[in-house]
């Protein structure tokens, strides 16, 4: 069988990573003309990006923000950041506050991904420092507008991921700042996600510094929350496996809880989740693995991550 034709995008032929091909036929005779490679998400994103640039649509903040969402959906954070920054500079000034929050979050996630490399280069370190600096400046401005639970959670995520770039006392200080921010988010009403992150990050801080955990103050809240989780959409549904992961983290039983955790996460992933949502959950597991001071438990979290990646 001949190789299918490539996709002609932006004046050049592009090879898709998709395995399927579409057969093009003459509508009058049904005679086969050619097999054409189906465009995968990355090829489609390149096509849209080319159209935006060619037609000078980058002056529209809304279009740039939407294109960023496309790149984020396929996991290209650098491109997603690039287009949110373009939205920020667009002449119509139409980048939404949600877009500003998303830009801060993407910068932190990209910085963490750069530093999770076993051998980060100096260029990686410099880029990560640039991204985290830009992120915290934006988060501070957002909090000045409104100190909502969501924005405190954004700060918590920033310091959690910043801790990955640090060691020793500096890492412990960043985890302390993350725990403080997540607790504020929980107190502001950003319930399941903020509470679970607070307990997890505080436990890591406690172990790293060999000091008592302050999370015992919310132990009853955690138990009550896990008994009343709403499974109607992804972020509440995933609180069930996240809650069990938290208990396993506290009890040092992540390695012996693998089968149960995989089953629970699989059910949450099947709950109308998007690739971006699953990716966020998987990145969080990598963050925990990177930050856990116990090598055996860290390896167990990475093993869980690999099993969940296989599901997606």
235-247 confidence digits (pLDDT tens):
888 888 998 999 9
Q: What is the pLDDT of residue 258?
A: 93
Residue 178 in domain: yes
Q: Which of 214-218, 253-257, 282-286 has the lowest mean pLDDT?
A: 214-218
CA 116 – CA 110 distance, rounded (Å)? 10
Q: Which of 86-95, 207-216, 250-259 has the lowest mean pLDDT?
A: 86-95
Residue 222 in domain: no
Domain end call among 24, 57, 92: 92
Average pLDDT rounded to a whole number, residues 279-289: 93
> What's 17's DSSP letter?
S
Tell me which residue range forms the domain holding 141. 96-210
Average pLDDT rounded to a whole number, residues 159-179: 94
Q: What is the pLDDT of residue 16?
A: 66
Are 13 and 57 in a shared domain?
Answer: yes
pLDDT at 2 over 60: no
- CB burial of 199-214 (b: ≥16 within 10 Å; e: otherwise) equals bbbbbbbbbbbeeebb
Higher pLDDT, 245 or 70: 245
Q: How many domains does the chain have?
A: 3
Are 243 and 304 in a shared domain?
Answer: yes
Are 113 and 167 in a shared domain?
Answer: yes
Q: Which of 76-85, 217-226, 277-286 has the lowest mean pLDDT?
A: 217-226
Domain end call among 149, 179, 210: 210
The number of angstroms, rounded, from the C-alpha of 169 to the middle of its chain's C-alpha atoms is: 26
pLDDT at 177 over 90: yes
Counting other chains too, the contacts that 84-89 makes at CB distance below 8 Å and 24 or more residues apart are: 86/58, 87/61, 87/62, 88/61
Q: What is the pLDDT of residue 297?
A: 94
Average pLDDT rounded to a whole number, residues 12-37: 75
Residue 218 in domain: no
Higher pLDDT, 66 or 57: 66
Residue 101 in domain: yes
CA 43 – CA 70 distance, rounded (Å)? 11
- Helices and strands in the chain, H and E counts: 14, 4
Maximal C-alpha separation, the chain: 78
- 286-312 per-position pLDDT tens digit: 999 999 999 999 999 999 999 999 987
CA 186 – CA 295 distance, rounded (Å)? 30
CA 73 – CA 234 distance, rounded (Å)? 16
Segment of 25-39, 182-196, 287-301 carrying the highest mean pLDDT: 287-301
Are 248 and 270 in a shared domain?
Answer: yes
Average pLDDT rounded to a whole number, residues 80-108: 90
Q: Give percent of the chain with pLDDT exceeding 90.
A: 48
Beta strands at 32-37 and 21-25: parallel, antiparallel or unpaired = antiparallel
Q: What is the chain's alpha carbon radius of gyration, rounded to the nearest angstrom?
A: 22
Q: Where residue 60 falls among pLDDT bands split at 50, 70, 90?
A: confident
- Yes or no: say if 283 and 113 are a contact pair by the CB < 8 Å rule: yes
Residue 225 in domain: no
Q: What is the pLDDT of residue 293?
A: 93
Q: What is the pLDDT of residue 248?
A: 92
Residue 140 in domain: yes
Give every CB contact of residue 72 below 8 A, 6+ residues apart in sequence: 80, 102, 106, 276
Q: Which of 21-25, 50-54, 172-176 has the lowest mean pLDDT?
A: 50-54
- CB burial of 147-176 (b: ≥16 within 10 Å; e: otherwise) equals ebbbbbbbbbbbbbbbbbbeeeeebbbbbb
Residue 157 in domain: yes
Domain end call among 210, 225, 257: 210
Are 78 and 115 in a shared domain?
Answer: no
pLDDT at 1 over 50: no
Share the mean pLDDT of the chain.
86
Nearest to 188 by CA among 148, 244, 154: 148
Are 50 and 102 in a shared domain?
Answer: no
Average pLDDT rounded to a whole number, residues 211-221: 86
Cα–Cα–Cα angle for 268, 269, 270, rounded to 5 degrees: 90
Q: What is the pLDDT of residue 283?
A: 92
Give every CB contact of residue 90 below 8 A, 6+ residues apart in sequence: 58, 59, 60, 61, 64
Residue position matching structure tokens 């910085």: 111
- Yes or no: say if 138 and 104 are a contact pair by the CB < 8 Å rule: yes
């Amino acid at each position: 069988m001949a190789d299918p034709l490539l996709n002609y995008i932006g004046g050049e032929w592009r090879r898709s990573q998709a395995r399927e091909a579409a057969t093009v036929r003459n509508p009058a005779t049904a005679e086969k003309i050619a097999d054409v490679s189906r465009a995968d998400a990355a090829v489609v994103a390149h096509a849209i990006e080319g159209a935006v640039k060619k037609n000078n649509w980058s002056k529209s903040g809304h279009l740039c923000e939407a294109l960023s969402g496309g790149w984020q959906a396929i996991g290209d954070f650098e491109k997603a950041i690039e287009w949110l920054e373009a939205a920020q500079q667009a002449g119509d000034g139409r980048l939404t506050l949600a877009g500003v929050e998303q830009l801060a979050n993407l910068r932190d996630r990209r910085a963490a991904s750069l530093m999770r490399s076993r051998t980060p280069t100096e260029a990686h370190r410099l880029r990560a420092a640039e991204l985290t600096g830009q992120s915290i400046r934006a988060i501070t401005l957002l909090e000045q507008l409104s100190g909502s639970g969501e924005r405190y959670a954004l700060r918590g995520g920033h310091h959690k991921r910043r801790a990955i770039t640090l060691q020793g006392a500096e890492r412990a200080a960043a985890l302390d700042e993350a725990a403080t921010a997540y607790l504020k988010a929980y107190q502001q009403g950003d319930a399941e996600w903020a509470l679970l992150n607070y307990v997890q990050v505080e436990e890591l801080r406690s172990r790293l510094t060999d000091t008592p955990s302050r999370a015992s103050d919310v132990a009853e809240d955690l138990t009550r929350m896990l008994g009343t989780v709403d499974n109607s959409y992804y972020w509440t549904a995933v609180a069930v496996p996240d809650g069990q992961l938290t208990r396993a983290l506290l009890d040092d039983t992540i390695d012996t809880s693998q089968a149960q955790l995989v089953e629970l996460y699989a059910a949450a992933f099947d709950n109308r989740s998007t690739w971006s949502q699953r990716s966020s959950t998987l990145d969080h597991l990598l963050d925990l693995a990177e930050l856990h001071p116990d090598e055996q438990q860290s390896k167990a979290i990475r093993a869980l991550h690999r099993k969940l990646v296989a599901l997606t």
